[in-house]
């Protein structure tokens, strides 16, 4: 069946899809930014550039004197004094290039977002109604740059590494930006239900009868007739939030280097809880500053995410969802168990760089699948008269 969007000419439909694919590219770049940021931390490179210059900072040192100047600035911070004393210039260049690449990708994302946005807005591919949303997304990206420098500053005066709190905030803003851009891309790539029409055979007088596609159903029944639809939607809404919180817990683990201790599973060196879990006062601060308890929290979070994935999958299967919503829920289940296996392997091997990067990338894939599933369920419900 040949289908076109009701009220949308073919050219406008292609323009919408172009916007959607552009946003997918931006989302993939942000995912790469998150992974490279993790590698930057794992290689100890995050504090190698001690100044923030949004414009001229895009140019790396070009001469021997430039490199020596950057190295001398690094030698003044606590990380060099207490951990990297005696580092050679070649070793410094290695960690500098990691951090420079991370910052350059951030600048590149800004350009890749801004220039096509201006073009799409000028041509009308992005509607006037969506222009403010795109401006907010660009502003959120700029905020991420400020937060990144704010995080780096925490490791330049008295600490040998960045604050785990600021690291978690930095990741949190990046994930919010990633999720918002991915959601917007889905809206441009997936037309609202009921917006498709198919021309039938010509009627008398040369007119064509247009048939509007019926709204999708849940297991052959309308949404109003199925309370399962509401339960499925509620679970689909909660699940991405669980993943988001679990990734923030992972940032605390990374900031505290907690992946390098208690490298056994399912126990923590033969214990359920880490040794001396509440040695700091007040007791609640241990959840954020005790490396052992931070790792314990991340483990428990993984179990909760696994149970959530099973609940989302089971509720969708019982509700007999079809199409992309069914595909996305199977993706959630498979990625969740792959992520758990990868997380355990990473822990047992004391967080090697490659496994840690794959663990973070798989977490982003799981978040993407969860957002996709939630989007598809909302799309179905909106075509049936709304969602509670």
Q: What is the pLDDT of residue 383?
A: 57
- Return mean pLDDT, the chain: 87
pLDDT band at 190 (very low <50, low <70, confident <90, very high): confident
59: in domain: no
Domain carrying residue 240: 215-383
Does position 63 have pLDDT exceeding 50, yes or no?
yes
pLDDT band at 295 (very low <50, low <70, confident <90, very high): very high
Q: What is the pLDDT of residue 224?
A: 46
Residues 242 and 341 in one domain: yes
Backbone angles phi, psi at 206, to 5 degrees: 85, 0
Q: What is the pLDDT of residue 192?
A: 58
Q: Which helix (H) or strand (E) holds 214?
A: none
Residues 165 and 253 in one domain: no
Does position 12 have pLDDT exceeding 90, yes or no?
no
388: in domain: no
Residues 34 and 176 in one domain: yes
The residues with which 221 forms a beta bridge, in sequence order, are 218
Prior bond of 53 cis (ω within 30°) = no
58: in domain: no
Residues 276 and 349 in one domain: yes
Helix/strand/coil for 218:
strand
Q: pTM of the entire structure?
A: 0.87
Share of the chain above pLDDT 90, in %: 75
Q: What is the mean pLDDT of residues 85-113?
A: 96
Residues 91 and 176 in one domain: yes
Residues 38 and 357: beta-carbon distance below 8 Å: yes
Cα distances (Å, whole numbers) of residue 278 to 174, 282, 292: 31, 9, 10
Share of the chain above pLDDT 70, in %: 84
Residues 192 and 215: beta-carbon distance below 8 Å: no
Name which residue leads in pLDDT, 114 or 16: 114
Residues 239 and 192 in one domain: no
* Lowest pLDDT segment from 6-15, 190-199, 246-255: 190-199
Residues 175 and 224 in one domain: no
Residues 194-228 have pLDDT tens digits of: 554 444 444 444 444 434 444 444 444 454 434 55
Does position 64 have pLDDT exceeding 60, yes or no?
yes
Q: What is the mean pLDDT of residues 242-262?
A: 95
Taking alpha carbons only, the member of 321, 370, 312, 315 closest to residue 223 is 321
209: in domain: no
Q: What is the largest CA-CA distance in the chain?
A: 89
312: in domain: yes
Q: What is the pLDDT of residue 110?
A: 96
Name which residue leads in pLDDT, 316 or 56: 316
* Lowest pLDDT segment from 79-88, 227-236, 375-384: 227-236
Total domain count, the chain: 2
What does the alpha-carbon distance between residue 117 and residue 361 come to, in Å, rounded to a whole number?
Answer: 27
Q: What is the pLDDT of residue 350?
A: 93
Single out the residue in 199, 230, 265 at which a domain terminates.
199
Taking alpha carbons only, the member of 223, 247, 237, 217 closest to residue 312 is 237
Q: What is the pLDDT of residue 197?
A: 44
327: in domain: yes
Residues 191 and 243 in one domain: no
Residues 293 and 349 in one domain: yes
Joined together, the tokens standing for residue 325 give 């919503």
264: in domain: yes
Single out the residue in 167, 199, 231 at which a domain terminates.
199
Single out the residue in 164, 199, 234 at which a domain terminates.
199
Does position 55 have pLDDT exceeding 50, yes or no?
yes
Residues 315 and 235: beta-carbon distance below 8 Å: yes
Prior bond of 282 cis (ω within 30°) = yes
What does the alpha-carbon distance between residue 308 and residue 313 come to, in Å, rounded to a whole number?
Answer: 9
147: in domain: yes
Residues 177 and 287 in one domain: no
Helix/strand/coil for 217:
coil
Q: What is the mean pLDDT of residues 5-13?
A: 56
- Sheet-wide strand order for 4-5: 4-5, 196-202, 208-212
Residues 185 and 220 in one domain: no
Q: What is the pLDDT of residue 300?
A: 97
Residues 193 and 254 in one domain: no
Q: What is the pLDDT of residue 210?
A: 39
Rg (CA), the chain: 25
Backbone angles phi, psi at 327, to 5 degrees: -60, -45
Taking alpha carbons only, the member of 355, 357, 280 closest to residue 39 is 357
Taking alpha carbons only, the member of 184, 169, 171 closest to residue 27 is 184
Does position 116 have pLDDT exceeding 50, yes or no?
yes
Neighbours of 343 (CB within 10 A): 22
């Amino acid at each position: 069946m040949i289908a076109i969007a009701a009220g949308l000419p073919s050219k406008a439909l292609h323009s919408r899809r172009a916007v959607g694919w552009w946003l997918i590219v931006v989302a993939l770049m942000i995912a790469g930014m998150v992974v490279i940021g993790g590698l930057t931390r794992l290689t100890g490179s995050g504090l190698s550039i001690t100044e923030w210059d949004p414009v001229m900072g895009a140019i790396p040192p070009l001469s021997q004197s430039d490199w020596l100047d950057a190295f001398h600035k690094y030698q003044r911070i606590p990380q060099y004094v207490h951990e990297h004393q005696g580092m050679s210039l070649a070793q410094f260049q290695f960690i500098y290039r990691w951090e420079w690449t991370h910052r350059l990708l951030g600048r590149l994302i800004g350009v890749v977002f801004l220039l096509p946005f201006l073009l799409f807005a000028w041509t009308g591919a992005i509607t006037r109604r969506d222009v403010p949303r795109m401006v907010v997304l660009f502003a959120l990206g700029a905020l991420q740059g400020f937060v990144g420098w704010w995080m780096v500053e925490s490791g330049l005066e008295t600490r040998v590494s960045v604050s785990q709190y600021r690291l978690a905030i930095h990741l949190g803003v990046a994930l919010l930006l990633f999720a918002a851009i991915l959601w917007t891309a889905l809206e441009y790539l997936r037309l609202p239900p009921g917006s498709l029409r198919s021309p039938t055979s010509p009627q008398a007088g040369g007119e064509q009868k247009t048939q509007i596609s019926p709204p999708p159903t849940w297991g052959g029944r309308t949404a109003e007739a199925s309370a399962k639809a509401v339960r499925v939607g509620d679970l689909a809404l909660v699940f991405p939030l669980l993943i988001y919180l679990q990734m923030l817990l992972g940032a605390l683990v990374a900031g505290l280097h907690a992946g390098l201790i208690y490298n056994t599973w399912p126990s923590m060196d033969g214990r359920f809880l880490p040794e001396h879990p509440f040695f700091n006062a007040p007791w609640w601060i241990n959840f954020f500053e005790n490396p052992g308890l931070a790792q314990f929290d991340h483990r428990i979070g993984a179990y909760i995410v696994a149970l959530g994935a099973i609940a989302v999958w089971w509720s969708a299967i019982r509700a007999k969802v079809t199409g992309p919503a069914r595909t996305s829920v199977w993706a959630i289940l498979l990625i969740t168990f792959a992520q758990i296996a990868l997380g355990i392997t990473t822990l047992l091997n004391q967080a090697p760089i490659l496994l840690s990067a794959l663990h973070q990338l798989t977490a982003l894939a799981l978040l993407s699948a969860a957002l996709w599933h939630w989007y598809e369920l909302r799309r179905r419900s909106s075509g049936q008269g709304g969602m509670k």
